[in-house]
Amino acid sequence: MSFAQPVFSTLRVSSHKKASLSSSKEVILDADSEARRRYILVRNPEEAKRDALKREKIVKEVERRLEELKQLDGQPQRKAACALRSHSVYGRCIRPTKTGKLMLDKAKIRTEAQFDGKFFVSTSCFGLSAEDVVFGYKQLSETERVFRDMKHLIDIRPVRHRLPDRIKAHVLLCWLGMLLILVAEQETDHRCTMAI
């Protein structure tokens, strides 16, 4: 496995709503191989701020729950401690001591803080710039929403045609209808929610 030299760059990632300044680091693995992969690590400062605020709220809630645990004794305390440790969000911030008491895991919180606002994109496409790859990834959720809407909002099914040309025409008309909805949404900044 060979590593190509990392490339550092600043990205201007924009959508039709707003633009955000991001920085990226790019690495290519197995540069001489057919199975080479391109990995892009992107850091978004706005997302980093949101992640830090979210983690701060979680830590405050964990501290509050740990204080409540100190006031309980016996079986209720053990049940509450088990519930807190097994909680999908709060349990990640807690570690048991040697005596079995629960405490805040500050080392893990510091480790998680290093990943604030960062996401990782992998691609085998080398013809696109890092900005285009990241923009395409960000458009993924919009594309998934469009396909979901095509299934449910436009009611592409049932297709009551038997001839292949008519089936293709039906799907094409549904696709054109979805395209018309998307253009109208972009022009008016309003999302369509009613079924057609």
**H/E stretch holding 102:** strand 102-104
Q: Would you call 118 helix, strand, or coil by DSSP?
A: strand
Task: Output the pLDDT for position 192.
Answer: 67
Task: Output the pLDDT for position 106.
Answer: 93
Task: Output the pLDDT for position 196.
Answer: 53
Task: Output the pLDDT for position 4.
Answer: 47
11 Cβ contact list (under 8 Å, min separation 6): 21, 22, 23, 24, 42, 130, 131, 134
180 Cβ contact list (under 8 Å, min separation 6): none
In tens digits, what is the pLDDT along the chain, a chain of 196 residues? Answer: 444 444 444 444 444 333 354 677 888 877 777 778 888 888 888 889 999 999 999 999 999 999 988 877 677 778 888 888 889 889 999 998 888 888 999 999 999 999 998 888 888 888 888 888 888 887 777 777 777 776 666 666 666 778 888 888 887 887 888 788 778 888 887 776 655 5
pTM for the full model? 0.59
Closest CA to 65 of 89, 88, 96, 90: 90
CA 60 vs CA 54, 78, 88: distances in Å = 10, 21, 16
Q: How far, in Å, CA of 42 to CA of 122, rounded? A: 11
Task: Output the pLDDT for position 18.
Answer: 38
Cβ proximity of 150 and 175 under 8 Å: yes
Task: Output the pLDDT for position 29.
Answer: 79
Q: How far apart are the first and last CA of the chain?
A: 52
